[in-house]
Amino acid sequence: MITREILETQLGQYREGQAQAINAFEKAKAEVSAFNGAIEAVNNMLRILGELENAKSPESSEAEVEQK
């Protein structure tokens, strides 16, 4: 027969496991958010570099001379 003590112990273990799973889930969400921020930052840097490269290209310089 299963005693009250066994059931209460089992319930405590389940609650502890649940709390650990919730903590792991929150940590994983924070890590995903950090990766999203890093990806966005690198994408922005690549966009800026692309714009700078386009501004320095010979075709761009010739167009500027013709406009002046």
Spatial CA neighbour of 33 closest among 44, 21, 41 = 41
Spatial CA neighbour of 47 closest among 57, 39, 35 = 39
pLDDT digit string, tens, across residues 1-39: 899 999 999 999 999 999 999 999 999 999 999 999 999
Confidence of residue 65 (pLDDT cuts 50, 70, 90): low
Token pair in block for residue 58: 């010979």
Judge whether residue 68 has pLDDT over 60: no
What DSSP state is assigned to residue 54? H
